[in-house]
Amino acid sequence: MILTLVKLVGATFRSTILTVVRTVICFVPIGFLLAKVGGLYWFWMVYPITEILTTIVGYIFYFSFLKKNKNVNTC
């Protein structure tokens, strides 16, 4: 949902950064770590963890967009 919002406001570069953060920076290292620590059971925790981190970064991008564009109606 956050990726779609970032794309809709015309911030394609930020959308690309958000995708890279989600897959490369979050998913792969956390997945490797959790697979080593807890096996397959803990590996499945990668999905909710990366989604939470992606949501946080997406909201940071969203609020910085709102700060730059104060004339935009948020409703």
Give the mean pLDDT of the chain.
79
How far is Cα 57 from Cα 11, in angstroms, rounded to an integer? 14
Q: Can you list the positions of beta strands (E) in 36-75?
A: none
**Any idea which residue has 């709102």 for tokens?**
66
Query: Which tokens is 25 given?
Result: 């920076």
**Spatial separation of the C-alpha atoms in residues 3 and 75, rounded to whole Å:** 18
Predicted pLDDT at 37:
92
Residue ranges covered by each domain of the chain: 30-66
- Which residue stretches of the chain have pLDDT < 70? 1-11, 71-75
